[in-house]
Structure 1
């Protein structure tokens, strides 16, 4: 019989890192890096490395207090005091003025220390406000109070990754005029997410109150299972929601095919292993759903779900 030690109360940072670990260490999670297979250029170890390297940014998110509260004198922003030596000096004022955007930039920068490319950019867009807000309700308030500097640092963070974006978009982060356009239009980070929400399910989470995150967490909680519920809920979500990362990378037809074929797996017409092999052969990676999976696991853990049952 296994001895059970009393469980300590984990910090929000530890819960977030646990969520990231559980997502990537799943079995039979079609199309994503997991314990069963790597990609040619990104391995399980790259994801695990990023989880470790994200600690400081996630911990700072846990200790974050909005700048409005700070300016009212009701709390401090010790986690964002001072500037890191590596910050681009021309954006000094933005780093001093930003909150959520700076935390996102730090998380992306800190995890950009290996050759595995982008591993958790979308996850950080969800986890940072969810940690800072102590859950969904607080996150919804915080994101409404982001400013232009938050948007600028989000664009800088985007530039550190290889994340793909619709090339025809007039708010393309790779455009030399992008940050100037942000300032000219006075767009906050919430505004940027709202603008992108029609074609990006991570941005849509900011606008719709983290609806899919909530739905994923609820599905885990009511499953009556531990970590084995994660790939089951993931596959069900894939059958119900078009992954916008797949659409951006390979087009709308690939997005529809992914959703429809996931339904075939649920109906027993194809095995999960077969589905995964086709994904790998076609280079299909449902990455946005993986990010929502992480956020959903985090909220479930925050609300008492036991992954280790």
Structure 2
């Protein structure tokens, strides 16, 4: 079979495929996958969300509209088709990645270099405006999103205010990247930072690292996605788990994931991997059979590492743009 140059593929198709591959990967402990529904979320809802988000993804990959407009449109379409919040965080990462894929190209065409890199994404986030921030806040009116309380000195910037926060954003002249910076560096050292926000202000290091794990791995992309998910969770506590439970629960969940990457369980002498030891070899050796038991335990305990799933989706998009293939 003749290989297809990934640079010639429609980036919106790759973004849509990334959304579908992420939810189809299994097991991803605590998250919906093709074998598991949650009480309030079903696998098919995520399929609908991926289809509904396409108009926003197309806007992100064009030379029309802003990053904030594209994100808001994507969330609106997702919510309309899925009937709930399925991929809010995924879209927050995919939109700037899509824009970076086409940035600098005439008429919004895909760059001839085809090499999506952190510098390109960083330029996109640095060029966001106050208007983008306002659109981001409006998107919170479309769906319920679990978020932690804002820092004490940023109460008026609570995203749960939705469009009511627009005057504060304009008064402070805060761009969307500025808003992300507030969540990326919380003032409380015990608080788990917003990993998606950190991607926005740090140049997407987790996304690109996990994309290389996926590219260098073998087997179906859905299995590679599941292993990358475990690696991301083992490396850093999940923001949604910390917001829904507490930071200690999030850290314990990461340690339990790390035990599947090469460390022993609680009764062993080796212990779980240190986060600094989470590398491609550890990720590729993840025990997906053992992860099935952890998936059941996390669902029973209400532990849902949703931010880790967002990062996995973004990594799948980058991996696809860099040559990863389905069934090849």
Judge same fold: TM > 0.5, yes or no: yes
1:133-172 → structure 2 map (5 Å cutoff): 133-134=100-101, 135-136=116-117, 137-169=119-151, 170=155, 171-172=157-158
**Equivalent position SS for 1:112:** helix
Give the structure 2 partner of residue 184 of structure 1: 171
Q: Distance in 1 between matches of 2:244 and 2:182?
A: 19
Q: Does 1:289 align with 2:308?
A: yes
Q: Distance in 1 between matches of 2:33 and 2:150?
A: 33
Give the structure 2 partner of residue 174 of structure 1: 160
**Equivalent position SS for 1:308:** coil
Q: Distance in 2 between matches of 1:115 and 1:291?
A: 17
Task: Name the count of aligned residue pairs.
Answer: 274
Q: Does 1:250 align with 2:245?
A: yes
**TM-score, normalised via structure 1 length:** 0.84
Q: Distance in 2 between matches of 1:116 and 1:265?
A: 34
**Residue 62 of structure 1: CA displacement?**
1.2
8 Å CA contact 2:210–2:228 kept in 1: the answer is yes
8 Å CA contact 2:146–2:244 kept in 1: the answer is yes
8 Å CA contact 2:130–2:174 kept in 1: the answer is yes
Provide the alpha-carbon RMSD of the alignment.
1.9
The structure-2 alpha-carbon separation of the partners of 1:62 and 1:175, relative to structure 1 and needing over 3 Å to count, comes to: closer
**Residue 264 of structure 1: CA displacement?**
2.2
**Residue 301 of structure 1: CA displacement?**
0.5
Give the structure 2 partner of residue 72 of structure 1: none
* Offset from partner CA, 1:193-226 (integer Å, 9 cap, x none): 1111122000000111000001011111122444
Give the structure 2 partner of residue 110 of structure 1: 77
**Residue 168 of structure 1: CA displacement?**
4.7
Q: Distance in 2 between matches of 1:291 and 1:284?
A: 15
* Offset from partner CA, 1:46-99 (integer Å, 9 cap, x none): 0000111111211121113xxxxxxxxxxxx3xx4xxxxxxxxxxxxxxxxxx1
Task: List gaps (5 residues or longer) in structure 1.
Answer: 65-76, 81-98
Give the structure 2 partner of residue 306 of structure 1: 325
Q: Distance in 1 between matches of 2:208 and 2:173?
A: 30
The structure-2 alpha-carbon separation of the partners of 1:6 and 1:219, relative to structure 1 and needing over 3 Å to count, comes to: closer
**TM-score, normalised via structure 2 length:** 0.79
Q: Distance in 2 between matches of 1:256 and 1:46?
A: 29
Give the structure 2 partner of residue 128 of structure 1: 95
**Residue 138 of structure 1: CA displacement?**
2.2
Give the structure 1 partner of residue 67 of structure 2: 100
* Offset from partner CA, 1:11-65 (integer Å, 9 cap, x none): 000000111111101121111100111011111110000111111211121113x
Give the structure 1 partner of residue 232 of structure 2: 237
Query: Which of 165, 181, 184 is the equivalent residue of 1:197?
Result: 184
Q: Distance in 2 between matches of 1:123 and 1:115?
A: 14
Give the structure 2 partner of residue 214 of structure 1: 208
* Offset from partner CA, 1:113-158 (integer Å, 9 cap, x none): 1565211111111111111110343221111111111100100002
Give the structure 2 partner of residue 68 of structure 1: none
**Residue 268 of structure 1: CA displacement?**
5.3
Q: Distance in 2 between matches of 1:268 and 1:232?
A: 17
**Residue 274 of structure 1: CA displacement?**
1.6
Q: Distance in 1 between matches of 2:54 and 2:150?
A: 35
**Residue 106 of structure 1: CA displacement?**
0.3
The structure-2 alpha-carbon separation of the partners of 1:269 and 1:237, relative to structure 1 and needing over 3 Å to count, comes to: same
* Offset from partner CA, 1:231-267 (integer Å, 9 cap, x none): 1121122111111111011111110110111122333
Q: Distance in 1 between matches of 2:150 and 2:207?
A: 29
Query: Which moved further from structure 2: 5-14 or 28-37?
Result: 5-14
